[in-house]
Amino acid sequence: MIDVEDLIALIRNYNPRTNEALIRDAYDYGRAMHEGQFRHSGEPYFTHPVAVAAILTEQRLDDATIVTALLHDTIEDTKSTYGEISGRFGKEIAELVDGVTKLTNLQLGSAGNRQSENFRKLFMAMSKDLRVILVKLADRLHNMRTIKSLPAEKQARKARETMDIFAPLAGRMGMQWMREELEDLSFKVLNPEARSSIIRRFITLQKETGDVIHKITADIRTELDKAGIEADVFGRAKKPHSIWRKMKEKELAFSRLSDIYGFRVITRSEADCYRVLGVIHQRWRAVPGRFKDYISQPKSNGYRSIHTTVSGRDGKRVEVQIRTRQMHEVAEAGVAAHWSYRDGVRSVNPFAVDPARWIATLTERFEEGDHEEFLENVKLEMYVDQVFCFTPKGDVVQLPKGATPIDFAYAIHTRIGNGCVGAKVDGIRVPLWTRLKNGQSVEVITAAGQRPQGTWLDIVVTGRAKAAIRRSLREEDRERFVKLGAELARVAFEHHGRKATDKALRTAAKTLGLGSEKDLLARIGSAEMTAREVIEALYPELAAAPAEVVDSRRPVVGLAPDQSFRRAMCCQPVPGERIVGIATRGQGVIVHTIDCPALAEFEDQAERWVDLRWHAGKHAPDYPVSLMLTIANDAGVLGRICTLIGEQKANISDLTFMDRKPDFYRLVMDVDLRDVEHLHMVLTALEAESDVAQVERHRDLSRKP
């Protein structure tokens, strides 16, 4: 374990003005709090916080962050408290330690809404002070370096979480070295055979070709000396996981994989960066499409560099990164460079991004409400790789790799995105699903009245575009859902002898924590909530009393003891609807809905009309109703519709195709239902299905009672 004097020496290397007394006090306090605790490896537990602090000294971080590393597990794992740390070390350090403790307790690898909500908490903590996540990343790095002492199952879980969350987050923060090490340590756990195979092939390649890195580095230095350019040149083989990922993405065997070596040229000035680029392109042939200028167009995390790939010695492809010393510091430390110290003062690096501005760009446009949407947007932002395109006026638009003209349109303005009907790339009309490339000029074509299409969600890749499209689709559907919800609420309230007044709906909305009665109706109409739940919220006594089961042989009230009845096939009345009976000779009473057009022929025969109503209570699903549907002629559509109806606890008793076209089917489906509320539930579910163009209750007056 590093002792306190060695740790202070590491800090003093870049910060001679460090508060040594504070570091010693934190070291002694942390060691005392963790006394008697041991890691899975058998080492004293305090070796871990000290190692985390040492990792952070490599990034030349401030005293508060180093002290936080020494104390980061005290609140969670010892008898120490927030108040005690605040009183002894100050509020700033106490807040940082508390933030790291809360991050440690988040289960970021969990599934569903829990993971989404935990991601939101992670980014909220980052927005308060980004140093919290710097400590957490260093904590995860040391844990991954010492993961072998954990049980195999826990190793795999931690490695997967690191690969999916912490490694890409480190990369997004500009700490590429940490991302690569975290990925490689996880790769070693998750796929040791593949990693060993790549290392063995590297050893074989070195035996066959000699020390390629040394030879190419010497070649580059020679060319720079000829041109009189002062610069440092470094070369390295890429990490096993980076090579494995390229093999998977490009579907290439190791023997066919190129650019497995990377080289960096660190210059004295920005002008020298472009001089070096010229020297390299004059000496070696550039690979088309593999040039990126992140100096003129920096990444949002402050990264600046020129990337080019050339065919080097013996035709081997090599990637060369060219940057100044200040750019290199930001490339190594990323956002952490903002807190870096040198000679006892904060290092003012012109390329270091302000953390508050960076976290704002990362989380901008992430709307409140939909946790899954938030999680999707965060992951899109974390895994981003960039392309730069131009507007017709020459303005640069920065987009993630794989972006489309629709993403481009939304990056300019939401109004432009919503009204997009087409696009031209470099003057040529292209489909909206075209993937944009670096340097292309994009012109968006808009039209008044155009609205985003649901299919766009499968085309776009940016979180901003996805959020705007979903918002527009929700607004478009809202009025329709409000109308459906109002009808469902009316029927449900009448079923219990009440009225769905504005006051009742407002009260229900308030009780259920919704903003207004329109929000309530929209939820009912979109099947996010049932009308029954609304009634139970308003009238708990109705929820408590189980409904009486109605005898299906005598479900209507108003018949004489000797009268039989049948439902009219023309209107197919169901419990909950207003009904009337027509007495017939030899057939008993035929029950119609009160608005059935077939009743017109009995207007002059008042003596045949029988006043009827349905029994109150719970009816069995014994009432077939015909539905007319127009659906897309596509694989799996009919199966999804049948599943939807089944999910509503309804049975399909008959199905007849009325019309078959290349793009759609029209069919009549008989569905067995309990009551009118059940009918509206089924209709609402079908209305919401994107492959259902139209659905309505089918009433056939030609059918005899």
pLDDT in tens, 90-128: 999 998 898 888 777 666 555 544 555 566 666 666 667
Q: What is the mean pLDDT of residues 206-214?
A: 74
Longest dimension (CA), the chain: 115
Neighbours of 400 (CB within 10 A): 17
Residues 396, 415 contacting (CB under 8 angstroms):
no
HEC states along 596-627? CHHHHHHCCCHHHEEECEECCCECCCCEEEEE
Task: Write down the pLDDT at residue 33.
Answer: 93
Q: Model confidence at 684, in pLDDT bands (50, 70, 90)?
A: confident
Half-sphere exposure (Cβ direction) of 665: Cα atoms closer than 13 Å: 16
Catalytic residue among 20, 77, 370, 533: 77
> Which pTM value belongs to this model?
0.57
**Given a cut of 50, is residue 412 above it in pLDDT?**
yes
Among the listed ranges 129-138, 280-289, 318-327, 489-498, which one has the minimum average pLDDT value? 489-498
Which amino acid type is present at position 113? N
- If residue 51 lies in a helix (H) or strand (E), which one and from where to where? helix 47-57
Q: What angle do CA 532, 534, 535 make, to 5 degrees?
A: 65
pLDDT at 307 over 60: yes
Grouping H, G, I as helix, E, B as strand and the rest as coil, residue 130 is: coil
**pLDDT score at 624:** 94
Q: What is the pLDDT of residue 255?
A: 52
User: Which pLDDT value is given to residue 369?
Assistant: 46
* Residue in 349, 642, 631, 616 with CA at minimum distance from that of residue 497: 616
Question: 313 pLDDT exceeds 80?
Answer: no
Residues 359-368, mean pLDDT to the nearest whole number: 56
Lowest pLDDT segment from 29-38, 170-179, 355-364: 355-364
Assess whether pLDDT exceeds 60 at residue 136.
Answer: yes
Cβ atoms within 10 Å of 362's Cβ, excluding its own = 23
User: pLDDT at position 253, please?
Assistant: 60
Encode pLDDT of 558-612 as tens digits: 888 888 899 999 999 999 888 999 998 877 899 999 888 888 888 888 889 999 9
Q: What is the mean pLDDT of residues 162-169?
A: 83
DSSP state of 251: T
Residue 550 has pLDDT above 60, yes or no: yes
User: What was the pLDDT predicted at 627?
Assistant: 95
Mean pLDDT of the chain: 83
Element (H, E) at 411: helix 405-412
Element of type H or E holding 348: none
Least confident residue range of 272-281, 311-320, 576-585: 311-320
β-sheet bridge partners, residue 632: 664
Cα 200 to Cα 700: distance, rounded to the nearest angstrom = 76
Is the pLDDT at 367 greater than 50? The verdict is no
Identify whether 73 is a catalytic site residue.
no
Name the band, by pLDDT with cuts 50, 70 and 90, for residue 71: very high
Tell me the CA distances in angstroms from 694 to 152, 486, 524, one per residue in order.
54, 20, 20
Q: Is the pLDDT of residue 548 over 90?
A: no
pLDDT of residue 52: 94
Predicted local distance difference test score (pLDDT) of residue 368:
46
| Residues 485, 509: Cα–Cα separation, whole Å | 13
User: What is the pLDDT, as a whole number, of residue 8?
Assistant: 92
Residue 196 clears pLDDT 90, i.e. is over it: no
pLDDT band at 315 (very low <50, low <70, confident <90, very high): low
Bigger pLDDT: 461 vs 372: 461
Residue 641 confidence (pLDDT) above 80:
yes
Segment 410-434 shows an average pLDDT of 90
Q: Single out the catalytic residue among 76, 117, 332, 477.
A: 76
Give yes or no: 601 in active site. Answer: no
* Residue indicated by tokens 């760009």: 361
Query: Which residues have a Cβ under 8 Å from the Cβ of 486 and sit 6 or more positions away?
Result: 500, 521, 525
Q: Which pLDDT score is estimated for 112?
A: 47
Lowest mean pLDDT among 143-152, 166-175, 368-377, 395-404: 368-377
How far is it, in rounded angstroms, from Cα 696 to Cα 690? 15
User: Which domains, from first to last, does the chain contain?
Assistant: 4-190 (1.10.3210.10), 194-346 (3.30.460.10), 471-544 (no CATH), 556-614 (no CATH), 623-697 (3.30.70.260)
d(CA 89, CA 619): 69
Residue 148 carries which DSSP code?
G
Output 18-25 pairs: Cβ under 8 A, ≥24 positions apart: 18/63, 18/344, 19/63, 22/63, 22/67, 22/89, 23/63, 23/66, 23/67, 23/70, 25/88, 25/89
Dist CA 518 CA 36 (whole Å): 60
User: For residue 204, what pLDDT band results from cuts at 50, 70 and 90?
Assistant: confident
For residue 320, the model assigns a pLDDT of 93
**What is the pLDDT at residue 209?**
66
Burial class (CB in 10 A: 0-12, 13-18, 19+), 122: buried
Average pLDDT, integer, range 58-75:
91
